[in-house]
């Protein structure tokens, strides 16, 4: 008995490695966010962060980043409120708590931003300074 072998030629598509558009968008945002915290006032930091645009960044990352921007805005407002007092008067009630709470939210929100960026494979720039 003769065995007949049938070979099927299957054309292999060209192997194309693509990089998600999300990764460079996330890295662009993180690079723009990497401000020198020692040389800028909190109000300026928050203003610069609000100028950053989403572009192709994924919505979950962008939402986390916007929470981070809001924390910075709250921190700047709390610093302003604490500074608005007459010399020798105590700080307005709750202003020191508001400053501390906003700083905590800045760190927690950026932890979430970093977690989402890493999950997508984005490179996190080394921070210039930490709050």
| Verdict on whether the full-model pTM lies above 0.85 | no
Encode pLDDT of 87-105 as tens digits.
Answer: 666 655 567 888 899 999 9
How far is it, in rounded angstroms, from Cα 84 to Cα 7?
83
In this structure, what are the phi and psi dihedrals at residue 51, rounded to the nearest 5 degrees?
Answer: -80, -20
What are 62-93's pLDDT values in tens digits?
A: 999 999 999 999 999 999 887 776 666 665 55
Q: What is the dihedral of CA 31, 38, 115, 61, to 10 degrees?
A: -50
Q: Rounded to whole angstroms, what are the CA distances from 41 to 23, 79, 80, 101?
A: 29, 10, 11, 18
Confidence of residue 2 (pLDDT cuts 50, 70, 90): very low
> What pLDDT does 120 receive?
96
């Amino acid at each position: 008995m003769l065995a007949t072998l049938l070979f099927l030629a299957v054309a292999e598509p060209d192997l194309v490695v693509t990089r998600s558009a999300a990764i460079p968008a996330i890295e662009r945002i993180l690079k723009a966010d990497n401000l020198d915290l020692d040389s800028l006032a909190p109000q300026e930091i928050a203003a610069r962060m609000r100028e950053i645009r989403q572009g192709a960044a994924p919505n979950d990352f962008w939402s986390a980043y916007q929470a981070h921007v809001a924390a910075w805005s709250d921190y700047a407002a709390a610093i302003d409120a604490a500074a608005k007092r007459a010399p020798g008067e105590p700080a307005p009630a709750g202003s020191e708590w508001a400053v501390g709470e906003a700083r905590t939210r800045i760190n927690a929100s950026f932890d979430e931003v970093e977690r989402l960026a890493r999950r997508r494979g984005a490179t996190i720039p080394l921070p210039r300074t930490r709050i």
